Amino acid sequence: MIETIRAAFVIGRRDFTAIIFSKAFLFFLLGPMFPLLVGGAAGLVGGQVARDIDRPVIGVAMSADDSRQLLAARATLAVEIGERRLPELKQLAPSAQGMAPEALLNDRKNGLAAVLGGTLDKPVLTGTRGPVENYGGEIAMLSAFAENAQVMQLPEVETRLVQSSAGNEKQKRLVTAQGAQVLLFMLTMLLAGMVLSNLVEEKANKIIEILAAAVPMDAVFLGKLFAMLAMAFVGITVWTTVGFGLASLSGPVLPSLPTPAVGWPLFVALGIVYFAMAYLILGSLFLGIGAMAATVREVQTLSMPVTMAQLINFFLAMYTVTKLGEPIEIFACLFPFTSPFAMIARAAQDGALWPHLLAVAWQALFVVIILRIGVFLFRRNVMKSGNAGRVRAGRDKDGGGKKLFGLFGLPGRTPMAD
pLDDT tens profile 268-312: 999 999 999 999 999 888 888 877 766 667 777 777 888 888 889
For 182, what's the count of Cα atoms within 13 Å in the CB-facing half-sphere?
Answer: 6
Domain check: are 307 and 375 in the same one? Answer: yes
pLDDT over 70 (residue 120): yes
Measured CA to CA, the distance from residue 363 to residue 273 in angstroms comes to 11
Q: 105 and 250: one domain?
A: no
Q: Is residue 103 part of a domain?
A: yes
Looking at the 3D structure of the chain, how many domains does it have? Answer: 2
Task: Please tell me whether residues 75 and 110 are part of one structural domain.
Answer: yes
181 in the same domain as 135: no
Regarding whether 94 and 192 lie in a shared domain, the answer is no
- How many CB atoms sit inside 10 A of residue 152's CB? 11
30 — phi, psi (to 5°)? -80, -20
Structure pTM?
0.69
Considering the domain architecture, whether residues 230 and 114 belong to the same structural domain is answered as no
pLDDT the model gives residue 390:
38
140 and 177 assigned to the same domain:
no
- The mean-pLDDT minimum among 46-60, 115-129, 389-403 falls in 389-403
Q: Are 187 and 278 in a shared domain?
A: yes
Tell me which of 236 and 197 has the higher pLDDT. Answer: 236
Kindly state whether residue 24 falls inside one of the protein's structural domains. Answer: no
Over residues 320-343, the pLDDT tens digits come to 998 988 999 999 999 999 999 999
So what's the pLDDT on residue 392? Answer: 44
Work out the pLDDT band at 145, boundaries 50, 70, 90. confident
225 found inside a domain: yes
pLDDT for residue 163 = 58
Is the residue at 65 inside a domain?
yes
Confidence of residue 149 (pLDDT cuts 50, 70, 90): low
pLDDT, tens digit (0-9, with 9 covering 90-100), for 374-391: 888 888 776 664 444 434
Out of 126-140, 145-159, 170-184, least confident range: 145-159
* 158 domain residue, yes or no: no
Express as a percent the part of the chain with pLDDT over 90.
19
Provide mean pLDDT across the span 21-28: 81
Residue 76 lies in a domain: yes
Domain of 121, in residue numbers: 57-147
Does 143 lie in the same domain as 173? no
Residues 109 and 182 in one domain: no
> Is position 375 within any domain?
yes
Q: Are residues 217 and 366 in the same domain?
A: yes
- Does residue 336 sit within a domain? yes
Does 10 score more than 80 pLDDT? yes
Q: Are residues 173 and 137 in the same domain?
A: no
